[in-house]
Amino acid sequence: MTERRVPVRLVIALSVAVVLAVFLLYTSFAGGATPSIRPSQLNDNIAQQVTLAGVVVGEASGDSRAEGMHFFLKDFDGDATVEIVYKGRVPDLFKVGRHVFLQGTMTGPGTLEGDLVQGEFVGVEDSMVTKCPSKYAPVEDEAHPES
């Protein structure tokens, strides 16, 4: 009777592959992702760091390197607005009307009074990302423009 030996390298390679697969599954499901919310979802119960997403409204004031840049962020599809205080690098595409995503925490009550969230959202330094809405809009066919 002939014995079949399993090569040691194969066992080690399969073991490493299983460990990497388990790690990948863990990080994709429970990897400590930061919740993403909109200004209307801010409240005093949010004490943890979150990613805030919205549209820039009004002109920004202040210096992003010194005391912080101040601007307002509004819901994509609503009227709730919150004041943002942000220090750090400002993306080149930052301007009124752009979609902005930034990590940070809420200071103050976070209650919605009218359309304004009371308190300030303090962004984590260098966490701001902008998205150009026109870049993600469907391309219009020049031969058959929609009317």
pLDDT tens over the chain, length 147 residues: 566 777 889 999 999 999 999 988 877 776 566 678 888 888 755 667 889 999 999 899 998 888 899 999 999 888 899 999 999 999 988 999 999 999 998 887 777 788 888 888 999 999 999 986 665 556 665 555 554
Q: Dihedral through CA 23, CA 25, CA 27, CA 29, nearest 10? A: -150
pLDDT at 3: 63
DSSP state of 134: G
The answer to whether residue 96 is domain-embedded is yes
Distance CA(57)–CA(7), nearest Å, equals: 64
pLDDT at 147: 47
The answer to whether residue 129 is domain-embedded is yes
The answer to whether residue 107 is domain-embedded is yes
Can you tell me whether residue 136 is helix, strand or coil? helix
Range of the domain at 88: 36-134
The answer to whether residue 66 is domain-embedded is yes
pLDDT at 131: 81
Domain count, the chain: 1
- The single residue listed with the structure tokens 């809420």 is 106
The answer to whether residue 31 is domain-embedded is no
The answer to whether residue 127 is domain-embedded is yes
pLDDT at 27: 73
**Domain holding 94: CATH number?**
2.40.50.140
pLDDT at 114: 81
The answer to whether residue 24 is domain-embedded is no
Distance CA(92)–CA(125), nearest Å, equals: 16
- Residue 123, exposed/middle/buried by CB under 10 A (0-12, 13-18, 19+)? buried
DSSP state of 106: E
pLDDT at 71: 95
The answer to whether residue 12 is domain-embedded is no
